[in-house]
Amino acid sequence: MITKRKTLLVFGLLTIMAMAVLIACSSGAKSPRLAKDAVILAFGDSLTFGTGATLTESYPAILESLVGRRVVNSGVPGEVTGEGLSRLPGVLEREKPALLILCHGGNDLLRRLDQKQTANNLRAMIRLARARGIAVVIIAVPTPGIALSPPPFYRETAAEMKIPLEENALTMVLSDGALKSDYIHPNAAGYRRLAESIAALLKKSGAV
């Protein structure tokens, strides 16, 4: 007869194995090589806009200098993913990027919106980009609180859609008071750390 303790142990091991598979799938995802004149679209909310620093200190501005491609800052402070989903088609049509960096969901988490719907909105944005032949990478945003960590839906979405995921940078930055301008936003040094992590992800994925 299988004891309750053994059942819990087996379940725990299966959970760890499943998480390891998800991590492997997302972290190993590849992106097409970007031409030197390719446009990168940084799309999101205040974390993309650069709240807490100047526009020239935002992560898109720093990333542009790190990867040698034009990076368009399309961050709207306060925006939730439902609003981002409505806004994205027009931005894609106007900017015609080769790569979309999607950093969204922080305001959904702050407002305690339904996480399933947030995940669905992110997936819909990824599909919109892919339908236009645009590559996508996703940046995970941690849930506000004492123990900062991204919700599982970022990792699950990256694995399901087979896209590169950066899931540690914002957690690291927002866990360090020296890298924050306030409770939920980096300062200039924090945005630089974020840009450096994204640049490393783009290089690892083969995009640059």
Q: pLDDT at position 147, please?
A: 78
2: exposed, middle or buried (Cβ count in 10 Å: 0-12, 13-18, 19+) = exposed
Order the strands of the 99-103 sheet from edge to edge: 70-75, 39-44, 99-103, 135-139, 165-166
- Tens digits of pLDDT across the chain (208 residues): 444 444 444 334 433 344 344 343 345 688 999 999 999 999 999 999 999 999 999 999 999 999 999 999 999 999 999 999 999 999 999 999 999 999 999 999 999 999 999 999 999 999 999 999 999 999 999 998 877 899 999 999 999 999 999 999 999 999 999 999 999 999 999 999 999 999 999 999 999 9
pTM: 0.86
**List of domains in the chain:** 4-205 (3.40.50.1110)
Q: Is 54 exposed, middle or buried (0-12, 13-18, 19+ CB in 10 A)?
A: exposed
Q: Which of 150, 149, 140, 160 is nearest to 21 (CA)?
A: 160
